[in-house]
Amino acid sequence: MPSLILLRGLPGSGKTTLSKILSEQGTYPCYSIDDFFTEKESGVYTFFFDKNHLAYKQCEEQTKESMLKKEEKIIVHNTFTLEWELEPYFKMAAQYQYQIFVLTVENRHGGKNTHQISDEQIQKMASKYKVILY
C-alpha cells in the first residue's frame, strides 16, 4: 500500500531536512506550503499572509496529483499545528487508499527556523500545538 507521510512540527524543528532524507534524494515527492512562497530560481522565501490560503491549496493539489500518479511514497512537511490542517490529507489518503503516517519532528538539535519567525510567534504556535490521541 502506498504511503503518505505528514511531518509536523514548529518552525526550525527539521521538517524540511527530514523530508529530504525520507524522499531518498528526490526519488519521492515532497511538498510544503513554504514552496508557494519560495522563488524557484533564487530560493528566496517571502511570506505573504494574505496568500497563505493559496499556499495550503497548492500543497493539497500537488499531493492529490501525486496520488493520482500512484506515487509509492509522498511526504508533506508543514507545521500542522491545528487539526483542520491535517484533515484534507486524511480524506485524500482514504479516497486514494494511502496508508497515512503523522510524524512529529522536535527541535532537539538546536535548529533555527529559516523564515525569520520570531521566538514569540513560535511560542504562540507551540501553545496551539496539540498531540492528537485517538
- Write out pLDDT tens, residues 37-74: 999 899 888 888 899 999 999 999 999 999 999 999 99
Q: Which three cell numbers stand for residue 128?
A: 496551539
Which domains are present in the chain?
Answer: 3-128 (3.40.50.300)
pLDDT for 82 beyond 90: no
Confidence at residue 132, expressed as pLDDT on a 0 to 100 scale: 67
pLDDT of 85-109, one tens digit each?
Answer: 999 999 999 999 999 999 999 877 7
**How is 59-98 classified by DSSP, letter by letter?**
HHHHHHHHHHTT-SEEEEE----SHHHHHHHHHHHHHTT-
pLDDT of 1-41, one tens digit each?
Answer: 999 999 998 888 899 999 999 999 899 999 999 999 999 89
**How is the chain classified by DSSP, letter by letter?**
--EEEEEE--TTSSHHHHHHHHTTTTTS-EE-THHHHB-TTT--B---GGGHHHHHHHHHHHHHHHHHTT-SEEEEE----SHHHHHHHHHHHHHTT-EEEEEE----S----TT---HHHHHHHHHH------
pLDDT for 130 beyond 90: no
